[in-house]
């Protein structure tokens, strides 16, 4: 289920059903972080207390947890010193629910999940398929064992890669009324980050101790590690203050989560944010500002701070607008973190999510941007209520472009390193270069997303599962195998429409697939099947298809090569634009229409124009070019 679509509420409904039907007497609810314990406890208390279903947090009730119906705990509390073996029996819980299942019960923690006998439910927005792209015949058995333990699908008996139930981001934003909102992307790049993001990298030339010229080259992964540039961070901060989405009631900077490279980077960014806030709003914040706070595991009280930020009382209530006494929004506006406020953090009134770091994992990217998707109503007294309809996603490292254009979604997932740290170094690094030169914002490009425009990173899982399911159907059906071998796409297409489309697990259909594959025309299911089964086959856009037909025309018609460009302009404009087609059919072209141009018609000549139009009418199905 997509982030923000109510996994905890669904859990509460399932728990209530199990208890009321006597299928469970007690439920274990597993989370992977301390702040999620309290968050779940509050939700269950709100949802279930009136039904007499009591919840407790295990670490606070170690001596009397048996009196509760729901026991909430981190997986770490159970794993410490094998506490789950010493203090619990396998039959203590009849329903075990793993929240954020891609993290909670993976790896060695899976033994805890399997220790308890009972029904088991896993909830996550980003399941991990560690067997994807792995050749099981050639892989190291130890490698396979680790992958099996880490795979979310394998843990819950979904070895085919299809979850028991799925509710996607697209489902949530297309629902009427919508359950989630989408971002406005602000792709902001400085001169330096533009080079860091390129294949060539950013090169710094310098003179060494011997007087010789040398150069070092850095890439996006080196930022604030091997290469430090406070001027670049300063430009991030300035761009944020200039373009941040404001609270619609108070007019101040909307609540924001700022994601950084490391704890060291967090310290720098937090200070810069507070300095800039004091400079821009001296009366509202002044010196010693708490406009921004660092939220990392090395800061005492960080867990409590995340809760207070969600509850809108971090450092008290907002006092930005003196006319709004006790307006329920946090005085601290920005939390600066690395990884603490990603998975499962629930704060609906977030209006800005800032990526001041490169991201390499699609799971991390989905979880981080998911912090802004929850809906919220801003209200105060008699003022008009304002619905949150989007949030701003500041992307300083072209993460969207990376997952849209460069990331290979079919590659196998690398196994996590045993000593991998989630928040980077806390101490001051010793970089190869501490750059003190200038940097400027090069560009800021805005892009809106919504029900009809979904990011590829959110689409990929859907199309992959359709491809995998279709291949499995072919593999187990000799007639379908033969159809693929003979490229009989009509037979395969009929089978898919009847047996695969509109099934209750996924509800695939042609319109959804055209959306997921980003096809701008009314392509057929047969074309999609050709993409799946024919190596190198590319789904053609309207322009691709027009190019293909034009090249065939030139080959068949033997038109004078000097007329090539003008003929192509007429041929493709006729196919792609309804109004151009009408103009030409009526023999009344608009001489001022730049898409066609009077010059091109003159070059083609009045004798050749009918040749082109008649060829199209005789050989091209115009319906293929109708836009969706």
The pLDDT score that the predictor gives to residue 484 is 94
The pLDDT score that the predictor gives to residue 426 is 59
The pLDDT score that the predictor gives to residue 422 is 52
The pLDDT score that the predictor gives to residue 420 is 44
Check if 7-167 and 182-197+218-408+441-448 are the same fold: yes
Helices 302-310 and 34-48, axial angle in degrees (round to 10): 40
Residue-range domain boundaries for the chain: 7-167, 182-197+218-408+441-448, 456-533, 542-625
C-beta neighbour count of 261 within 10 angstroms = 23
> Which residues have a Cβ under 8 Å from the Cβ of 418 and sit 6 or more positions away?
none
Nearest to 182 by CA among 28, 54, 52, 3: 3
Torsion of CA 169, 175, 180, 186, to 10 degrees: 70
Nearest to 109 by CA among 96, 92, 118, 95: 96
Cα dist from 196 to 133, 224, 593, whole Å: 30, 12, 42
Compute the distance between CA of residue 306 and CA of residue 312 in angstroms, rounded to an integer. 10
Compute the distance between CA of residue 31 and CA of residue 74 in angstroms, rounded to an integer. 5
Q: Which fold has domain 182-197+218-408+441-448?
A: Rossmann fold (3.40.50)
Beta strand pairing status for 377-378 and 386-387? antiparallel
Q: Is 550 left (phi over 0), alpha (psi -120 to 50) or beta?
A: alpha
Characterize 575-586 residue by residue with b for buried, 16 or more Cβ atoms within 10 angstroms of its Cβ, and e for exposed: bbbeebbebbee
Compute the distance between CA of residue 262 and CA of residue 544 in angstroms, rounded to an integer. 44
List 453's β-bridge partners, or say none.
Answer: 450
Q: Which fold has domain 7-167?
A: Rossmann fold (3.40.50)
CB 166 within 8 A of CB 4: no
CB 178 within 8 A of CB 456: no
**Residue 548, SS3 per DSSP:** helix
Nearest to 170 by CA among 355, 5, 376: 5
Compute the distance between CA of residue 7 and CA of residue 167 in angstroms, rounded to an integer. 10
Beta strand pairing status for 390-395 and 292-294? unpaired
Instruction: Supply the pTM of this predicted model.
Output: 0.76
Compute the distance between CA of residue 417 and CA of residue 490 in angstroms, rounded to an integer. 47
pLDDT along the chain (628 residues), means of 10: 90 96 95 87 94 95 93 92 92 93 76 90 86 76 81 80 81 91 96 94 84 88 93 97 97 97 96 95 84 93 92 91 90 94 88 96 92 96 95 97 88 68 62 91 94 84 74 91 94 93 76 80 90 87 92 89 91 92 90 85 90 93 84
- For residue 185, the surrounding DSSP H or E stretch is strand 182-190
Compute the distance between CA of residue 196 and CA of residue 439 in angstroms, rounded to an integer. 13
How many residues does the structure list for the chain? 628
Strands, E assignment, 549-592: none
The pLDDT score that the predictor gives to residue 109 is 82
Query: Residue 300 is encoded by which pair of tokens?
Result: 């005492």
**R_g of the chain, CA atoms, integer Å:** 29
């Amino acid at each position: 289920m997509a982030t923000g679509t109510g996994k905890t509420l669904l859990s509460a409904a399932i728990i209530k059903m199990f208890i009321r039907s006597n299928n469970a007497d007690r439920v274990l609810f597993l989370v992977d972080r301390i702040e999620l314990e309290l968050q779940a406890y509050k939700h269950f208390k709100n949802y279930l207390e009136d039904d007499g279903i009591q919840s407790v947090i295990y670490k606070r009730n170690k001596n009397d947890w048996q009196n509760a119906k729901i026991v909430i705990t981190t997986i770490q509390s159970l794993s410490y010193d094998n506490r789950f073996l010493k203090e619990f029996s396998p039959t203590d819980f009849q329903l075990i629910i793993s929240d954020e299942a891609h993290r909670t019960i993976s790896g060695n923690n899976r033994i805890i999940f399997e220790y308890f006998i009972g029904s088991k439910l896993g909830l996550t927005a980003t399941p991990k398929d560690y067997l994807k792209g792995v050749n099981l015949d050639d892989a190291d058995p130890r490698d396979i064992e680790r992958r099996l333990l880490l795979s979310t699908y394998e843990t819950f008996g979904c070895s085919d890669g299809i979850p028991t139930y799925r509710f996607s981001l697209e489902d949530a934003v297309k629902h009427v009324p919508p359950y989630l909102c989408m971002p406005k992307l602000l792709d902001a790049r400085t001169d330096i980050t533009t080079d860091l993001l390129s294949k060539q990298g950013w090169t710094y030339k310098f003179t060494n101790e011997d007087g010789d010229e040398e150069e070092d080259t850095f890439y996006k992964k080196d930022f604030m590690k091997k290469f430090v540039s406070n001027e670049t961070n300063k430009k991030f901060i300035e761009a944020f203050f200039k373009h941040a989405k404001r609270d619609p009631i108070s007019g101040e900077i909307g609540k924001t989560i700022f994601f950084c490279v490391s704890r060291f980077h967090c310290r720098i960014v937090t200070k810069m944010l507070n300095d800039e806030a004091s400079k821009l709003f001296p009366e509202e914040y002044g010196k010693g500002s708490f406009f921004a706070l660092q939220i990392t595991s090395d800061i005492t009280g960080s867990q409590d701070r995340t809760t207070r930020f969600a509850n809108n009382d971090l450092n008290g209530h907002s006092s930005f607008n003196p006319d709004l006494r006790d307006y329920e929004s946090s005085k601290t506006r920005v939390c600066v973190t690395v990884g603490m406020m990603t998975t499962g953090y629930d704060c609906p009134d977030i209006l800005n999510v800032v990526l001041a770091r490169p991201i390499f994992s699609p799971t991390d990217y989905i979880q981080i941007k998911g912090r802004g998707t929850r809906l919220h109503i801003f209200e105060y007294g008699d003022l008009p209520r304002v619905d949150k309809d989007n949030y701003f996603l500041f992307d300083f490292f072209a993460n969207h472009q990376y997952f849209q254009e460069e990331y290979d979604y079919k590659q196998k997932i690398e196994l996590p390193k045993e000593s991998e740290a989630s928040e980077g170094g806390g101490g001051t690094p010793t970089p190869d270069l501490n750059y003190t030169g200038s940097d400027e914002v090069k560009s800021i490009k805005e892009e809106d997303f919504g029900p009809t425009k979904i990011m590829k990173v959110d689409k990929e899982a859907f199309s992959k599962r359709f491809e995998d399911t279709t291949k499995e159907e072919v593999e187990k059906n000799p007639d379908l195998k033969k159809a693929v071998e003979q490229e009989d796409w009509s037979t395969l297409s009929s089978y898919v429409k009847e047996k695969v489309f509109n099934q209750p697990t996924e509800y695939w259909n042609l319109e959804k697939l055209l959306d997921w594959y980003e096809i701008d025309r009314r392509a057929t299911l047969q074309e999609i099947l050709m993409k799946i089964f024919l190596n190198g086959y590319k789904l053609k856009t309207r322009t691709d298809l027009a190019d293909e037909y034009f090249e065939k025309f030139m080959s068949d018609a033997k038109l004078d090569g000097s007329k090539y460009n003008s003929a192509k302009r007429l041929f493709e404009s006729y196919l792609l634009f309804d109004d151009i087609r009408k103009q030409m059919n009526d023999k009344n072209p608009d001489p001022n229409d730049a898409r066609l141009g009077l010059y091109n018609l003159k070059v083609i000549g009045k004798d050749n124009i009918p040749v082109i139009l008649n060829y199209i009418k005789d050989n091209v199905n115009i319906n293929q070019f109708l836009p969706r």
